[in-house]
Structure 1
Amino acid sequence: MRSLPLLGLPALLGWATMTACGGMEPDFLEPEALQDATVTLIPGHCAGVIVEDGLHLLTAAHCVDPMAQRIEVALRDGTRMGAQALRVDPGQDLALYQLDSAAPVTPLPLSPEMPTPGERLLFAGRNDRPGGIQAVWLEKLGRCPSLPDVPQALFTTLRGEKGDSGAPVVDSRMHVVGLVHGGAACSIAAPTARFAPVVRQFAENDIVASQ
């Protein structure tokens, strides 16, 4: 399978509208939410995504110092925010942080289920450089040597660039299913389904603590 071309918003909306007739969720028609929820790590060497309650951020574990307690990120509009480390899992290449305050964007939910081969996904990459939203395919699930604790990494047709690690890959519901890990053209993503309960537990604890 080959990657679909980079799509401008009008073209993507048309593509999503056509696929919606085949069962796509209508939320797929709001692709800019993907770009708004994507952040750039400072210094700008990787990406991440604001998830669930807007207070939590996921990025690739290989993008951060596992001993560092804090990171700084930039939103699409340039706003900078600080975040505190909660859990870094090098084996799954996932790292979870809590932002100092809720981000002024619509956060993306994490899918509790793995995507299936042949599924159409979306990827946008970092916001601090030119690029567009890519409609891509999940080619297969399989082992990746650099993801020792992941039995089913996502092998996609996305064409990323160096520095897109940590950028989200979403399904038709705009739910995060993986974060860019690497590989040829950065096409392999670390799945987030197994990490979803961890994120939700932290989010629920924050809600209880605030009451």
Structure 2
Amino acid sequence: MRAKRFSLYPGILIGALVVACGAAPPELDARVLREATVLLVPGHCAGVVVEDGRHVMTAAHCVAGNPQSIELELHGGERLSGTSVFIDRSRDVALFRLDAVAPITALPLAPQLPQPGEGLLFAGRYDPPGELQEVWLERLGRCPSLPGVPQALFTTLHGEKGDSGAPVVDRQLRVVGLVHGGATCSIATPTAAFAPLVQQLAAELSSTEVARRDLARGR
């Protein structure tokens, strides 16, 4: 099954997507997906701002060595820096904590794997703007270049050079995977296993910052 493509323009609600069962999903703001996708600087990969807006996930193969920091470029050209939380080479996932909240709507992480036949969405990098793709999860399975992943996502998406690390999302705009590779960049590494950890880190960071503000106010 081929991916369906839809023109992607900022601010336009995409409500004409049709899922496999024939039911129309809720209207989706394509701009949210595009703006949550970031570019690594320097480099030729993408990433996604998740959960609290202070964390960014990308593919581990996009990150050379074991860097302690990273610089990112947002859709509007603004740059943010962050520090490394972990780099998991066997599952091709890297997580960084930003020094400041990204001024965009962050995407939540889906708590479970998508199922074969499920409709997903992919936009890729924003330079230049591409088209929103309605894609499908064909199967879950082993991928030789993902030794730590028993169920990689084999999709129908058609990526371009530089789309590694870009998010694949479900119809609720929850991140289900990051582009890993394949002939058309159609294989994604799943992110569901990392959702509890990222959410815990976000909650801890929020509590720490609240305590710091209270201390500064003399409470």
Q: Tell me the TM-score normalized by structure 2.
A: 0.89
Deviation at 1:14, TM superposition (A): 4.5
Is the aligned partner of 1:195 residue 2:194? yes
Larger Rg: 2
Change (3 A) 1:12 1:147: farther
- 2:3 alignment partner in structure 1: 3
- 1:161 alignment partner in structure 2: 160
SS at 1:186 equivalent: coil
CA RMSD in angstroms, aligned pairs only: 1.8
Relative to total residues, which structure has the larger helix share, 1 or 2? 1
Equivalent residues of 2:8, 2:129 under 8 A apart: no
- Matched ranges for 1:1-211 at <5 A: 1-4=1-4, 6-9=5-8, 13-16=14-17, 19=19, 22=23, 24=25, 26=26, 28-211=27-210
SS at 1:201 equivalent: helix
Deviation at 1:21, TM superposition (A): 7.5
Equivalent residues of 1:142, 1:155 under 8 A apart: yes
Deviation at 1:23, TM superposition (A): 6.1
Misfit runs of 4+, over 3 Å: 9-12, 18-21
Equivalent residues of 2:13, 2:29 under 8 A apart: no
Q: Percent same amino acid at aligned positions?
A: 57
Segments of 5+ residues of structure 2 without an aligned counterpart are: 211-219
Change (3 A) 1:199 1:66: farther
- 2: CA distance, partners of 1:15 / 1:89: 37
- 2: CA distance, partners of 1:124 / 1:91: 25
Deviation at 1:173, TM superposition (A): 0.4
Cα-to-partner distance string for 1:105-149 (whole Å, 9 max, x where unaligned): 000000011001111111111112241111111110000000001
- 2: CA distance, partners of 1:44 / 1:66: 13
Deviation at 1:157, TM superposition (A): 0.4
SS at 1:206 equivalent: helix
SS at 1:45 equivalent: coil
- 1: CA distance, partners of 2:195 / 2:140: 18
SS at 2:14 equivalent: helix
Equivalent residues of 1:40, 1:128 under 8 A apart: no
The letter of the residue matching 1:3 is A
Equivalent residues of 2:181, 2:187 under 8 A apart: yes
Segments of 5+ residues of structure 1 without an aligned counterpart are: none
Aligned residues: 207
Change (3 A) 1:9 1:131: closer
Equivalent residues of 1:71, 1:82 under 8 A apart: yes
